[in-house]
Structures are given as structure tokens and as C-alpha cells.
């Protein structure tokens, strides 16, 4: 299908070596980018910009993003790091979550959390995005829960209804103290230039005392 579109360049992530070989067989140029952490995302911006002939613009964009990231670090670096759970998948709007998928340590969300001044509540795990049962949530009992819900319109679920799902888990510290925060922005699930906005969102959630 891809070769019928006659693209000049296809961007792939680092793990797509087999796809790169297949596309290469059709004579299609590819570039593989590493987006496992924020540094990798910034590098991929420059990498793609260079391949697209706009290297200077890519460098300028990366410099602007880096300045904003440095500002967040300056504001939160000396603060306590709350134990935080980043929920990346669950049924929404159907009542109390029975299980959730969360960001582990081998994900760019873990790096976003670190840059924003938080600590990942998830321990070491074989899976990048482990599934947690209700019992698993209770065991971790995070101080903060950040609930990524970028696809609610497609699911036909209202944001307030999705947030209400957590009310039945008031035994959780984050629920009990009102520190469950939904994020429904599209950039929350796209590892691109918008990652700086995600870091800033996380920082505001984790450290409201430092302001925006």
C-alpha cells in the first residue's frame, strides 16, 4: 500500500527495522528515529528536518523547545518529587476502573515525568506499559494520577464522566486528596515538538505552587 502512494520519505521509529528493509526493497527512502526519551525526540526533530531540507528550522525549533524545558527544570529541580502514576489506557466513562495500563520506566512518559519534577510510582517491569489491576493500584497508592485521555471524542465519552470513574476508588491517596488529573490534549500521546507542552502540563499538575 505504501509504495503505491509514492512517498519520497517514510519516517519510522527505531524498532521498525523490518519495515525499513521492506520499504527499501521498493526503493522508498526511510529515516528511523529514536523516541524513547525526550532527548531522542529532540534529536528526531533535527534528523527529520535535515532529511526534509529544512535543517536550520529544525535547529531553531529544538532550541526553542530546549529553552522551555530548561525553564521547567529550573523551577522544579529542587522540589520534592511526588509519586506519580501516568495512565495511558483504560475503559473510560463506564465506572470504576477494573484495570489500567500505565507508563513504565522504558517510555518517554517516564522522562517527561522526571523533567517535570515527579517520580514514577511504577517499579521495574518487563513491560514498557504494564497493566495494573485495582489491587495493583492500591498497592502503589500514588500521590498523583495523570490520566491521558486524548481519544475521548472518538469514544463518545465526556471528560467529566471519565474523571468520575475514579470516585469509587477513594481509598487511593490521589483520589482522596483530589490529585487525579485528566489530560485530553492530542499532544499528550504524540512524541513530537508538543512534548514540551506535556512537560509543562505535568509540572503544573505536580507543582502548582510554582505557577505556569
Q: Is the pLDDT of residue 101 over 90?
A: yes
> Which residue's entry shows cell 486524548?
150
Q: Is the pLDDT of residue 184 over 60?
A: yes
How does pLDDT run across 18-71, given as a tens digit for each residue?
888 888 888 888 888 888 899 999 999 999 999 999 999 999 999 999 999 999
- Within 8 A by CB and 6+ apart from 168, the residues are 95, 96
> Which residue's entry shows cell 506535556?
198
Alpha-carbon gap, residue 76 to 209, rounded angstroms: 10
Cell numbers standing for residue 37:
526519551
Q: Is the pLDDT of residue 206 over 80?
A: yes
In Å, how far are 11, 180, 192 from 17, measured between CA atoms?
11, 38, 20
Cell numbers standing for residue 149:
485521555
Q: What is the pTM of this model?
A: 0.89
Alpha-carbon gap, residue 126 to 145, rounded angstroms: 21
Q: How confident is the model at residue 194 (pLDDT cuts 50, 70, 90)?
A: very high
- Please, how many CA atoms are within 13 Å of residue 121, restricted to the half-sphere of its CB? 23
* Predicted local confidence at residue 4, as pLDDT: 64
Number of residues assigned to the chain: 212
* Predicted local confidence at residue 212, as pLDDT: 56
Specify the higher pLDDT residue, 9 or 83. Answer: 83
Q: How confident is the model at residue 73 (pLDDT cuts 50, 70, 90)?
A: very high
How many other CB atoms are there within 10 angstroms of residue 78's CB atom?
Answer: 7
SS3 (DSSP) at 84: strand
Residue pair 166/142 in contact by the 8 Å Cβ criterion: no
How does pLDDT run across 124-144, given as a tens digit for each residue?
777 899 999 999 999 999 999
Domains of the chain: 2-76 (3.40.50.1980), 83-210 (3.40.50.1980)
191 DSSP 8-state letter: -
- Please, how many CA atoms are within 13 Å of residue 195, restricted to the half-sphere of its CB? 30
Q: Is the pLDDT of residue 85 over 90?
A: yes
Report the run of H or E that residue 113 belongs to, with start and end.
helix 108-116
* Predicted local confidence at residue 127, as pLDDT: 87
Q: How confident is the model at residue 6 (pLDDT cuts 50, 70, 90)?
A: confident
Q: Is the pLDDT of residue 17 over 90?
A: no
Q: How confident is the model at residue 114 (pLDDT cuts 50, 70, 90)?
A: very high
Q: How confident is the model at residue 8 (pLDDT cuts 50, 70, 90)?
A: confident
In Å, how far are 36, 41, 89, 189 from 194, measured between CA atoms?
15, 10, 20, 9
* Predicted local confidence at residue 211, as pLDDT: 61
* Predicted local confidence at residue 116, as pLDDT: 96
Amino acid at each position: 500500500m505504501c509504495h503505491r502512494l509514492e512517498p519520497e520519505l517514510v519516517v519510522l521509529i527505531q524498532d521498525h527495522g523490518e519495515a525499513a528493509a521492506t520499504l527499501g526493497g521498493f526503493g522508498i527512502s526511510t529515516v528511523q528515529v529514536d523516541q524513547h526519551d525526550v532527548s531522542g525526540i529532540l534529536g528526531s526533530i533535527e534528523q527529520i528536518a535535515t532529511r526534509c531540507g529544512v535543517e536550520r528550522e529544525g535547529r531553531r525549533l529544538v532550541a526553542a523547545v530546549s529553552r522551555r524545558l530548561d525553564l521547567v527544570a529550573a523551577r522544579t529541580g529542587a522540589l520534592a518529587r511526588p509519586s506519580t502514576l501516568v495512565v495511558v489506557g483504560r475503559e473510560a466513562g463506564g465506572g470504576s476502573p477494573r484495570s489500567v495500563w500505565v507508563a513504565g520506566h522504558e517510555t518517554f512518559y517516564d522522562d517527561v515525568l522526571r523533567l517535570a519534577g515527579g517520580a514514577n510510582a511504577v517499579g521495574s517491569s518487563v513491560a514498557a506499559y504494564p497493566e495494573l489491576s485495582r489491587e495493583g493500584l492500591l498497592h502503589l497508592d500514588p500521590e498523583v494520577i495523570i490520566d491521558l485521555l486524548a481519544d475521548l471524542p472518538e469514544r463518545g465519552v465526556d471528560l467529566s464522566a471519565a474523571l468520575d470513574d475514579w470516585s469509587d476508588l477513594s481509598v487511593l491517596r490521589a483520589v482522596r486528596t483530589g490529585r487525579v488529573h485528566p489530560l485530553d490534549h492530542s499532544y499528550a500521546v504524540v512524541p513530537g515538538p508538543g512534548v514540551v507542552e506535556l512537560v509543562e502540563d505535568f509540572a503544573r499538575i505536580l507543582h502548582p505552587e510554582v505557577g505556569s
